[in-house]
Amino acid sequence: MKTGFAKIDITPPLGSPLCGQLVALEATGVESPLYASAMCIDDGKRKLAFVSCDLLLIPNSLAKEIAAEKLVDEVIVAATHTHSGPATVEVFGGGASNQYLAKLKNGILDAIKNAIDNLEESIIKFNRDELKGLAFNRRFIMDDDTIETHPLKDDPRLVRPEGPDSDALSTIWAETPAGKILGGMVVFGCHATVMERDNTLISADFPGKAIACLEHKYNVPFLFMQSACGNICQVNTGDNSQSETGVKWTGKMGRTIADKVGGMLASGISLPPSGLNIITRTIHLPRRKVPAELADWAERHINVNADTPALSDYGSEVYNCLPPEKVSLEDLFKTSFWANFYANEIRTRQYDYQCQPEMPFTIKIIGIGNLAIVTLPCELFIEWQNKIIENSPFADTLVIELANGWNGYIPTLEAFKRSGGYETKEVTSTMLVPEAGDMIFATIVSIMEILKTTQGGLNNSMIGEDRLS
C-alpha cells in the first residue's frame, strides 16, 4: 500500500460572500485560512483520494467535475461544514462566485495531484474511540410535544433531547514501515457553528483548529471529515455556566479533539495492504412536494419591509438572559422577516420540484479489510449513522457526510411527524421526501453486504444507478 498527503490554500479574497446564515454576509478578514487537504491511497490496483475542504458545502456540479478529471479511480471530496466559509452553492437566496469556484476546483485538483506525487510505501492504520462532552443533539422536545432547534438554556419548557448526542471519534492514518507518521484523517460529527452568527471573519472553525494542532505536533498533513451532524451542534443546553461560541471555544474543541487523536495514534488496527474495494451507486430520490395550501400562501405572500432580527448564537445563551435585541430561533419563526424568507424558500422549492422532481443521490462505500467507509452527499441525522453502524456486516464502519455534493438534510421519519424545529420545515435545505432516509439506508446495507462478501474480489469499482420511490 502507498499513501500520499498534500494540502492547498483555498482561502477566498476579502469581500467574498459568506455562506451559513439566513442573511447575506461578506468576509471582512481572515481568522484562519481554509485548505483543501488530500489523502491518496494506492493498493497497486486502484487509487482512491479523500479530499477535505474547509467549506460549508460541496456543490453537486463541482463533485462531478472533480471526478470527471480521472486523476484517481475514485475521489471522495467532502466539506468540513464551517459556517464561516465562502458561498459555494445557491442556498437561502445567496449565490456563489464563479471566480472562486474556479479557484476552488483548481485547488482541489492540485491537492490530489500533489498527494499522488507524494505517494510512498506505508502501513495504514485505524482506531476508534469515544469523545463525550463536545457535541450535543440540538433538537429538543418541549413540554407541548413540539420540537425546538437550538432552544435556549434553562428554558422551563424543555423536556429532553429528541435524539442521541455525538461521541464517535475515529482516525485513519499512514505510517512508514519504520513507524513514522505520514499523515492522517480525523472523523467526528458536529456542526462547525462555533463562530458567532454575525461573524464576518473567514474561519475553518473547530475542525481547522483540530487539524492545526495535529499538524503542529506531527509536522504532516491531516484531514477532517464530518460524520453525521445533521442534528448535532456544540452547545450543551444542560450547562448554563459556559457559552460555547467564539474563537476561544473553537480552540478548546480543536485541542480536545487533537489531544484525543494523539493518544489514539499510539496504537491501532493495521489495514490489509491490498483489497481496496469501492462501490458507487446513484439512486434517484423523490423531491418533497410543497403542500398546496403552503404553496398558495407563498404565492400570495407580499414581501414587507422587515427588520432583520439578531439571532441567538445557536442557543448558547440562557433563557432569561438573552439580550433584548436578540431572538431565539423559535421566536424568529414568528417574525415578518421569517415570513418573507419562508415564502421565498417555498417558491424556490416549487421551482426546483418542477425542474427536477427526482434528485440524484450518489453513495460511495469503500471497503478495506474489516473497515467500511460510507460516504453520503447530505446532512445526516445521527440516528441514521447509528443504525448504519448497527446493521453493518463489517467489524468497523465509518460514516462521512457532506461528501461528493449536497442534497440537504436527511431527518428521521419520526422527526417529520413532530411539529416545530428547523430541519423539517419546507425550506431548500430539506428537499427530499421524509422516506428518503429509509431508501438511503436500505441501499447502504445492500452495498455493504456486497462489499463484505467479495472481500478483495472486485477488480474495479462497481457503479450502479437506481430509481427509488
Grid cell listed for 307? 427588520
Amino acid 94: pLDDT: 67
Q: What's the CA gap between 346 and 437, in Å, rounded?
A: 22
Alpha helices for 393-435 (secondary structure H): 413-417
Name the β-bridge partners of 153: 318
Amino acid 466: pLDDT: 58
Amino acid 24: pLDDT: 86
Length of the chain: 469
What's phi and psi for 393, nearest 5 deg?
Answer: -80, -5
Q: Which distant-in-sequence residues (6+ apart) come within 8 Å of 19 by Cβ?
A: 56, 57, 83, 85, 86, 87, 88, 89, 91, 94, 96
Give the DSSP per-residue string, 31-69: SS--EEEEEEEE-SS-EEEEEEESSS---HHHHHHHHHT
Q: Which residues of the chain have pLDDT under 70?
A: 93-94, 455-469
Q: Which distant-in-sequence residues (6+ apart) come within 8 Å of 114 by Cβ?
A: 4, 6, 8, 38
Question: In degrees, to the nearest 5, what angle opens at C-alpha 361 toward C-alphas 385 and 167?
Answer: 15
Instruction: Assess contact for 126 and 396: CB atoms under 8 A.
Output: yes
Measured between its terminal Cα atoms, the distance across the chain in Å is 41
Amino acid 91: pLDDT: 79
Q: What's the CA gap between 199 and 246, in Å, rounded?
A: 9
